[in-house]
Structures are given as C-alpha cells and as structure tokens.
Structure 1
Amino acid sequence: MKRVNKLPLTSQCHHWTRLGEVPWNLQKYWQQRFTIFPYYNEGIYMTPDAWFGVTPEPVANQIARDLSSIISTSKTTVIDLFAGVGANAIGLALATAEDGSTPRWEKVIAVELDAPTLACAQHNASLHGVADNIIWVLGDSFKFLDTLLNSPENLEDDLQVDVESTALFASPPWGGPGYSTDDIFDLNTMEPYNLDQLHGAYRRMDHALYLPRTSDLRQISKLVPDGSKIDVVQYCIEGASKAMVAYLPATRDEDEDTHMES
C-alpha cells in the first residue's frame, strides 16, 4: 500500500478505436463508450475488467454534486475506495463548493488495488486536468482504512487525514448471483464484499455506497442510526436506472449496539 505519483500505461490498458479490436464479450460496452465517457475519443484508457464496473461519467458527475451537498461541509476530505479507471475520483476532484469558485474538497484520495487500472485512472484524470488534484494510492482499500483508523503513523503525512472531517465513497464490485436479474437484490449475497462487510468497515465515517439499482432497501434501512433519515438516490441515463447510491451517516458505537440488540 503506497502513494504513487504516476504509473505507466501497460499492455492491459487500452484505447480501442475500432470494433474489431474489442474482445467479443466487451463489444456491447464499447458500443456505449460515449455514454460511459462522452470524451472517449480524447484518449480515455480502460482495462478489460473496467468495462464491467465503471461508473458512467455523467452519473459520476451527478453523484459528486450530490455527495458535495448531502455530506456536511465540515467534511473536507473524501476517499474513493474503489477508484477503478477514475470516473468517480475525477468527478469528486471537479466538484466545486456552493459559490462555484473553489473546489468542494480540500483533499481527494483515490485507492485502487490493480496497478494497470490505477494507471488508466491517472491518465484519464490528466485528460480532465485533475490528475494532480488527486492523491493516488495503490493498495487494498480495507487495509488502507484499517491503517488510517488504527495506526495512521504508518501512512505518509498527506494520507494521515482527520477521520472526523473525512467522508467515504465506495463503488465495490457487484459479483454474485442475481444482481442484474433479481427484482430485489439481496445485498447479503453480494460478492466479494456484502453489505455488512462494507458498512462494518466504513461506519465510523459518513459514507456513500454505490449499489445495484434493485438493492433491497430494507437491508439498507437497518444500517440507519435510530431517529435518522438518509438519502437513497437512483441514477439514470436516458431514462434507465443504472445504480442507486445510499448516503449513510457515521454510526456511533452506541448506535451500533442498539441495532445489534434489536
């Protein structure tokens, strides 16, 4: 787990310009490339796996605006825990404060486990002019958070952020049965990380979870501290829902104990 300034694009990083270059199982995604990245032709790079999970740029930008307004302005650092090829981190880095003249976030940290994917993210952020406005971390986001919470002295100085003024954004993988076909998706079956694992890791900070559009709202509601209300937003492109985001407040230990007893 380390901060990286610039990773080189590798053979796993692609900017395909013709359908014949694209593996057959990715062709339908590539044909939607301008919906995913409107400026794809400017030189956007992707890894093959990234096509399955990337947040479309218009959605990422709207999420960044919503996160900026829903999360308290006392939160000045945001961590993108599954940076992928950069769509969400770019949106967060581009977000402005209410006056429109200053960045909403003093610090944007993007964590990604796969080096070629992170190289694509850095390259794509450079096309948007914000690569230097993001702190890039190569490593496992759960280990990063554990270190931040329990032994921050083991992190580089600019990664030792104040937990109380930090918010989290997570767009985890959605593997497992049924997420694309079930009328109501059971978040306890989501792989490789289910809802309890994610919330357990993130609960000490305000966090936003990017989830399948059919996610079970009853399971999400069980995470809400008593007496609180949360925002759950469906994000659509061309009239079709792509995903939902649940914006969850930090949970105090006593709130967690109450839920465990109920």
Structure 2
Amino acid sequence: MKRVNKLPLTSDCYHWTRLAEVPWDLQKYWQQRYTIFPYYDEGIYVTQDAWFGVTPEPVANQIARDMGSIISKSKTTVIDAFAGVGANSIALALCTAEDGITPRWDKVIAIELDAATLACAQHNASLYGVADHIIWVLGDSFKYLDALVNAPHKLEDDLRVDTASTAVFASPPWGGPGYRTDEIFDLNTMEPYNLAQLHGAYRTMDHALYLPRTSDLRQIAKLVPDGTKIEVVQYCVEGASKAMVAYIPAAKDDDTYMET
C-alpha cells in the first residue's frame, strides 16, 4: 500500500486506433469508445481488462454530481475504492460545489490494485488536467480502509483522513453467475466481492455502490435499519440503463442490520 506520484505506461496499456488491433472480445467496447470516452482520440489509454468495467464518462459525470448533492456537504474527502482507468476519479476531481467554481471535494483518493491500470488512470487524468489533484494509491482498497479505521498510524500522512468527513465510491467487479442474464441479480453471489463484504468495509462512512442495473433492491434495503432513507438511482446512456448506484449513509454505533 503506497502513494504513487507517476507510473509509466506499460505494454499492458493500450490506445488502439484501428479495429484490427483490438481483440475480438473487446471490439464492441472499442466501437463504443466515444460514448465511454468522448475524448478518446486525445490519447486515452485503457488496459484490456478495464474495458469490461469502465464507467462511461457521461455516467461518471452524473454520478459525481449526484454524490456531490446527495452526500452531506460535511463530507469533504472522497475515496474511489476501485479506480480502474480513472473515469470516476476524474469526474469526482472535476466536480464543483454549487457555486460552479469551488471543487466539491477537498481531497480525492483513488485506489487501484493493478499498476498498469493505475498508470492508465494517471495518464487519462492528466488529459483532463486533474492528475495532480488526485492522491493515487497502488494497493488493496480493503486493506487501506481497514488501516484507516483501525490503524491509521500505519498510513502516510496524507492518507490519514477523518472517516467522519469521508465518503466512499465503489465500482467493484461484477463477476459471478447471472450478472448478464438474471432478471434480478443476486448480490450475494457477486464475485470476487459480494454485497456483504463491500458494505462491511464501508459501513462506517457514507458510501455509494455502483452495481448491476438488475440488482436485488431488497438486498440493498436490508443494509440499513428500518426507517432509514437511501437513494438508489438508475443511470442510462442513450436510453439504456447501464447500472444503478445505491447511496448509503454511514452506520450509527447502535444500528442493527438484517442478514443479506
């Protein structure tokens, strides 16, 4: 777990310019590249695995605006727990307060486990002029959050943040049976991280979970005590739903939760 200022692009970072360069299983994503990254031709780099899970820029921008308004203004730090190639981190860093000028977040921390993917994120953020406004962390976000809550003295100074003023955005992988075919997706079977594991890691902070559009709302509702309001928003691109985000408030010490 370490902060990194600048990682070099590697042979695992790609900016394809012709369809013939693109692996067959990624060609449909590349053909949608301008929907995902409107400024793709400016030099956006993506790893092969990242194409499967990258948030389209219009969705990332709307989520950033929604997080800025739904999450309490007392939250001034935001952690992107699965930064990928940077779409959400960039949007969060660009997001402004109600005056349209002041950054909504004093600090944006982007965490990514894969070095090549993080190198792409840093490069892409530089194209948007926000690379220096994001704290980049190479490592496991679960380990970081555990240290943040239980052993902050083990973290570098600028990674020690007050959890009471921090929110988490998490766009985890959606592996597991049924993600693409089930009418209602069982979040307990999501791989490699299920709903209980994600919520367990973030429950002490306000958090937003980016989930499959068919996720079981009953499972999400069980994350909070009866009577607690949560926002669940469907995000669409060109009229088609791409994902939902559940905005979940931090747990209180006396909160009790149902098993999911």
Q: Which TM-score band applies after superposition, normalised by the shorter structure? A: over 0.9
Distance across 2 between alignment mates of 1:9 and 1:86 = 14
- Distance (Å, rounded) in 1 between the aligned partners of 2:4 and 2:65: 27
Taking the aligned partners of 1:178 and 1:101, their CA distance within structure 2 comes to: 43
Cα drift, residue 180 of structure 1: 1.1
Percentage of identical aligned residues: 82
Kindly indicate whether the alpha-carbon contact (under 8 Å) linking 1:226 and 1:255 is maintained by their aligned counterparts in 2.
no
Q: Does 1:29 align with 2:26?
A: no
**2:209 alignment counterpart:** 209
1:89 aligned partner, one-letter code: S
Distance 2:203 2:222 in 1: 13
Aligned residue pairs: how many? 260
| Aligned counterpart, 2:72 | 72
Q: Residues 187 and 215 of structure 1 are in contact (CA less than 8 Å); yes or no, is this contact kept in structure 2? A: yes
- CA deviations on 1:72-121 (whole Å, 9 max, x unpaired) are 00000000000000000000000000111100000000000000000000
Tell me the SS of whatever aligns to 1:254. coil
Matched residue of 1:92: which SS? helix
SS at match of 2:254: helix
Which AA in structure 2 matches 1:101?
I
| Distance (Å, rounded) in 1 between the aligned partners of 2:255 and 2:61 | 32
How far did 1:227 drift?
1.8
Equivalent residue, structure 2, for 1:94:
94
The one-letter code of the counterpart of 1:31 is: Q
CA distance in 1, matches of 2:123, 2:100: 26
Match of 1:147 in 2: 147
Which ranges of structure 1 fall in alignment gaps of 5 or more residues?
none
1:225 Cα deviation after fit: 2.6
Which residue matches 1:120?
120
> C-alpha distance in 2, partners of 1:19/1:217?
39
Deviations 1:40-60 (A, max 9, x none): 000000000000000001100
Q: Give the match for residue 156 of structure 1.
A: 156
The alignment's TM-score, normalised by the length of structure 2, stands at: 0.98
Task: Assess if the C-alpha contact under 8 Å between 1:185 and 1:216 holds in 2.
Answer: yes
Q: What SS does the corresponding residue of 1:210 show, helix, strand or coil?
A: strand
Shift of 1:251: 0.9
SS across alignment from 2:120: helix
| Distance in 1 (alpha carbons) for counterparts of 2:36 and 2:258 | 39
* Residue 259 of structure 1: how far off its partner (Å): 3.6
AA in 2 matched with 1:47 = T
| Letter of the 1:28 counterpart | K
4+ residue segments displaced more than 6 Å: none
* Deviation string, structure 1 residues 10-54 (Cα, Å, up to 9, x no partner): 000000000000011111110000000000000000000000000
AA aligned to 1:68 is: G
**Aligned equivalents of 2:106, 2:124: Cα separation in 1:** 21
The secondary structure found in structure 1 opposite 2:234 is strand
User: Which one-letter code corresponds to 1:2 in the other structure?
Assistant: K
Aligned to 1:9: 9
CA RMSD of aligned residues (A): 1.0
Q: Secondary structure at the match of 2:111?
A: strand
Residue in structure 2 matched with residue 234 of structure 1 by the alignment = 234
Deviation of 1:253 (Å):
3.0
Give me the TM-score of the superposition, normalised by structure 1.
0.98
Residue equivalent to 1:53:
53
Structure 1 residue 254: Cα displacement: 1.6
Structure 2 residue ranges without an equivalent (≥5): none
